[in-house]
Amino acid sequence: MNPKVVNKIATGVIYGLVILVVAILAALIGYILVTGVPHISWHFLTSPAQSFLAGGGIRDQLFNSIYLLVLTLIISFLIALGAGIYLAEYAPKNWFTEIIKTTIEVLSSLPSVVVGLFCYLLFVVQMRMGFSILSGAIALTFFNLPLLTRNIETSLESVSSLQREAGLSLGLSQWKTITGIILPAAVPGIITGIILSAGRVFGEAAALIYTAGQSAPFVDYTNWNIFSDTSFLNPLRPAETLAVHIWKVNSEGITPDANAISSGSSAVLIIVILLFNIFAHWIGNRLYKKMTSSK
């Protein structure tokens, strides 16, 4: 067969598959938004959930998701930053380094239910932390750590080796070169990776069922005492997140407007994740253009 004909056929098949994937994604997101957005209102976002009566909202679940996200990013970023710097700048190219990278890849592919059960047995039961925001944050760190580590490693490796050589030639130590030259140059990629990983953390549900809990206890938003059980800042209190709330409403919700709550909550979740992705691309491009224009 004529190579040009084969090339056109292959190109057509590839474009067709891409269009199919985009169409499926657009259909799913479109259906969720069309059915859910009409149920979103200020009352829905700022009122507490109801167990039996209609008219409940997602105030506590939305706050719990944001609080859990912030706590997870703080824990995972500090670990991922050290691991990423080691793999990109210090780790020798040998079998031990390859084992570390393979372990990171395996960790990122673990089923969320398995990670949730492991964290439940270790942190909730053995360490007696109970169902809490902190237990959920540690569980989500297992998901976020591989992605964030690889992102930081890739961002550091993408920095030109000429900048490393320039820092060393000026008499700077390797650590000073990394912190003063390499890290600032890799900031756009690192920030983009943080925001993208935040979208994944925000939508996780399976692992949180076994760690953060499925209940939304009374939360006093005027109580700033972190050690109080009713304080909204207490990391050791149970916390039902938005994704867990959607699962719970669909599986065992008995409120008259359960379908409306589920549709509205799903739309809010999709909108937040879409905003995370859009903001990640926007800030990444903006920082990259700012750095290139300043050179």
pTM recorded for the entire structure: 0.87
> In this structure, are residues 60 and 213 in contact, taking their beta carbons and an 8 Å threshold?
no
Q: Would you say 138 and 71 are in contact if contact means Cβ atoms under 8 Å apart?
A: no
Q: What is the pLDDT of residue 17?
A: 94
The packing angle between helices 133-157 and 95-108, to 10°, is: 130
* Angstrom distance (rounded) from CA 25 to CA 216: 32
How far is CA 107 from each of CA 2, 20, 35, 110, 206, rounded to the nearest angstrom? 46, 30, 36, 5, 16
Nearest to 144 by CA among 115, 108, 192, 101: 108
pLDDT at 52: 81
Res 292: pLDDT:
66
pLDDT at 15: 93
Dig out the tokens for 179 from the structure.
């912190």
Predicted pLDDT of residue 20: 95
CA–CA separation, 254 and 274 (whole Å): 30
pLDDT at residue 275, rounded to an integer = 87
Q: What is the pLDDT of residue 270?
A: 92
pLDDT tens for each residue of the chain, 295 residues long: 677 788 888 899 999 999 999 999 999 999 999 999 999 999 999 998 887 888 888 999 999 999 999 999 999 999 999 989 998 888 888 888 888 888 888 887 888 888 889 999 999 999 888 899 999 999 999 888 888 998 898 889 888 888 888 887 888 888 888 888 888 888 888 888 888 888 888 888 888 999 998 887 888 888 888 888 888 889 999 989 999 999 888 887 788 888 899 999 999 999 998 888 888 778 877 777 776 665 5
Give me the DSSP letters along 38-75.
GG--HHHHHS---SSSS----HHHHHHHHHHHHHHHHH
Domains of the chain as residue ranges with CATH: 40-294 (1.10.3720.10)
CA–centroid distance for 156 within its chain: 21
Residue 52: beta bridge partners?
none
| d(C-alpha 74, C-alpha 134), whole Å | 12
How many other CB atoms sit within 10 Å of the CB of residue 15?
A: 10
β-pair partners for 231: 220
Q: Please name which of 27, 28, 52, 40 lies closest in space to residue 263, comparing C-alpha atoms.
A: 40
Q: How far is CA 150 from the centre of its chain?
A: 14
Cα distance between residue 187 and residue 176, in whole Å: 16
Residue 181 and residue 163 in contact, taking contact as beta carbons nearer than 8 Å: yes
Q: What does the pLDDT read at residue 291?
A: 65
d(CA 205, CA 208): 5
